[in-house]
Structure 1
Amino acid sequence: MIRKKLIFILISLFSMIFYTQGQTNSSQARAYLIGPGDIIEGKVLGEGDYDFKVTVDDDGNIEIPFSDKPVQAMCKTERQLRAEITQLIARYVRDPQLSLRVAERRSRPPVTIYGEVRQQQQVILTRQTRLLEILSFAGGVTEKAGGIIQVFRPQPPLCADPKELEEWKAQANDEQGVPSRLYSLSSVKQGREESNPVIYPGDIIIVQKASPVYVIGEVMALREIPITENGLTLTEAIAQAGGFSREAKTKEIRIRRLKQNSKDREIIVVNYDEIRNGKQKDIALQPEDIVEVGRAKRGVGGTILDILTGSARSFTQVLPQRVLY
């Protein structure tokens, strides 16, 4: 378990380093595939007349002054485009020394990640990135995260590998027809290939919030408790609510549970003492359960003790107060 946590932290740290280096590292820049909207800048050593700065059009082409035809730039790397344009310049200049770079990357929208992550943000991708790395870059998930991650793909990826596109198939569409796919958070953390897809520019990642359980009545703190990917039992919920108050009726705890496909609730009565003593199995709670801890009836002796110790607030607060001089 500790080893997995360490690996997860290391992945997060490395992802931050790689993201920063991606803005300036030339080897990663060469791997960038050019797309519409990108601004390309080229300079020829000692031949200023052949310098150019152009924008890739919607068809993926660029217009350069010394070529009578548009040059296809779409889905090419800087190195590939440099080699092609160098051949064109060589018609007019002997042994041209062309430096070419993508001056501004405008062809790809950022990836958006929000929901139950520690740092909701937009991330500009400069290289191939998978879901686990994006999740790590966002600081990991919060305590309220459920077990599901949803990835929306509003537009087809630009210059994507056809094999990778085949691996990603939408499971559902939202009201606007945007395809999406669901992934198990636990499977993503384990690095399973089928749950760790390549993320493309423009993708929207949502870490869904865990469904809540409500604990009310005679507990130390009324709580809304999320059901995490590991589930939540009755004893865990009571513990997170601070335990029982002194007046709690532990032998008769009521769980109000939604009936299937209905807004009505059924009542499940549980003897907590038997669970604590191992005579009854702990109860696995379900989303939207209401755990209600009632108040046990107290005798006269118990009420008097409450008055003496100041515990019976509802009784003493209504008594008149006088000052004896």
Structure 2
Amino acid sequence: MHRTARIFLAATLGMMALTGVSAAIAQSTPVAAADEAYVLGPDDVIDVRIYGQFQEPFRVRIRSDGGITLPLIGDVAAAGETPGRLAKTIRKQYVDNRIFNNAIVNVEVVSYVSRSATVLGAVRTPGILPLVRPTRLTTLIAQAGGQNNGSSIVVLRRPGMAEQRLVISQIAGTEADPIVQAGDVVIVPAEVRFFVYGQVRAPGAFTLEPGMTLRQALASAGGQNDAGTERSIRLYRNGQEMWADKLDELVQPGDVLYIRTRLL
């Protein structure tokens, strides 16, 4: 074998050896607990891995009393703990009981059951969603597929609290966007519309925004055209017909504005 080939082979074997050592170190290094902020509760399923002692992780479901059972140490309180804190508790019990001198423990959540919220209404995929980590209200709506012809209003119902009605565009990306809690029910109502017809530039149906006035509704339709006038607007509301002489009045769901022709 030529000297150059021998050098290449030695270098290759050296790199392979280093790779093997690196892999071994990576396998023995404790893995960071997933979703550290998640608080465990009854019926959650977790994997408890004890590196260097057992080849496979122990998959356990947290009991209704909040505990789990592990080999050699018995019962451990799991509910109310994060995965990281539970891993430290398990390690301490193995070490304090002199079962393992230096146990390396990792806890990962397999099934999120105890902490979830419900999203209903005009979203693409309504249902029960797990709260894997701290989640803001608008993020939860996005996880449900986003609005599906839904209104800009979202209703938040939380046990023991009064119902909240929030405007999505106003809270998104701000501290006013609440953190969802377990048991919350989020409802995105169907889109609410009003109608503008007659002598306007773009007649039709429009989405009713919170706090919208009749003047703003008229602007949504492009305003009156050359043949129309703000002084001759009829308002049809709840089966009644009236003059719309106060344009700063708030629009109500289903309102119909009809801009009449200007008199010459």
Of all paired residues, the percent bearing the same amino acid is 24
Establish whether residue 252 from structure 1 lines up as the match of residue 232 from structure 2: yes
Q: Which of 57, 63, 70 is the aligned partner of 1:57?
A: 63
Q: Which residue of 1 aligns with 2:212?
A: 231
Q: What is the CA-CA distance between 1:113 and the residue it aligns to?
A: 4.5
Q: Secondary structure at the match of 1:29?
A: coil
Q: What is the CA-CA distance between 1:63 and the residue it aligns to?
A: 1.7
Establish whether residue 102 from structure 1 lines up as the match of residue 96 from structure 2: no
Q: Which of 196, 203, 227 is the aligned partner of 2:184?
A: 203
Distance 1:212 1:104, change over 3 A: same
Establish whether residue 170 from structure 1 lines up as the match of residue 161 from structure 2: yes
Greater per-residue helix proportion = 1
Is the 1:186–1:229 Cα contact (8 Å) retained in structure 2?
A: no
Q: What is the CA-CA distance between 1:70 and the residue it aligns to?
A: 2.5
Q: Secondary structure at the match of 2:36?
A: helix
Q: Which residue of 1 aligns with 2:91?
A: 86
Q: What is the CA-CA distance between 1:200 and the residue it aligns to?
A: 1.8
Q: Which residue of 2 aligns with 1:293?
A: 259
TM-score by length of 1: 0.55
Q: Which residue of 2 aligns with 1:216?
A: 197
- Structure 1 letter corresponding to 2:38: Y
Q: What is the CA-CA distance between 1:116 and the residue it aligns to?
A: 6.3
Output the aligned Cα RMSD. 4.2
Q: Which of 29, 42, 45 is the aligned partner of 2:48?
A: 42
Q: What is the CA-CA distance between 1:187 and the residue it aligns to?
A: 5.7
Which runs of 5 or more residues in structure 2 are unaligned?
1-30
Q: Secondary structure at the match of 1:30?
A: coil
Q: Which residue of 2 aligns with 1:74?
A: 79
Q: CA-to-partner distance for each residue in 1:272-294, whole Å, 9 max, x for gaps?
A: xxxxxxxxx74434213221234
Q: What is the CA-CA distance between 1:120 and the residue it aligns to?
A: 7.1
Q: Which of 132, 149, 152 is the aligned partner of 2:154?
A: 149
Q: Which residue of 1 aligns with 2:7?
A: none
Is the 1:144–1:210 Cα contact (8 Å) retained in structure 2?
A: yes
TM-score by length of 2: 0.65
Is the 2:149–2:190 Cα contact (8 Å) retained in structure 1?
A: no
The residue correspondences of 1:182-197 to structure 2 (distance < 5 A) are: 182-185=165-168, 188-189=171-172, 191=174, 195-197=176-178
Is the 1:248–1:295 Cα contact (8 Å) retained in structure 2?
A: yes
Q: What is the CA-CA distance between 1:36 and the residue it aligns to?
A: 1.8
Q: Measure the CA separation in 2 of the matches of 1:45 and 1:189.
A: 43
Q: CA-to-partner distance for each residue in 1:123-148, whole Å, 9 max, x for gaps?
A: 543322333554677798799734x4
Q: What is the CA-CA distance between 1:104 and the residue it aligns to?
A: 0.2
Q: Measure the CA separation in 2 of the matches of 1:48 and 1:144.
A: 51
Is the 1:108–1:202 Cα contact (8 Å) retained in structure 2?
A: no
- Structure 2 letter corresponding to 1:255: L
Is the 1:144–1:228 Cα contact (8 Å) retained in structure 2?
A: no
Q: What is the CA-CA distance between 1:231 and the residue it aligns to?
A: 1.0
Q: Secondary structure at the match of 2:210?
A: coil
Q: Measure the CA separation in 1 of the matches of 2:189 and 2:57.
A: 50
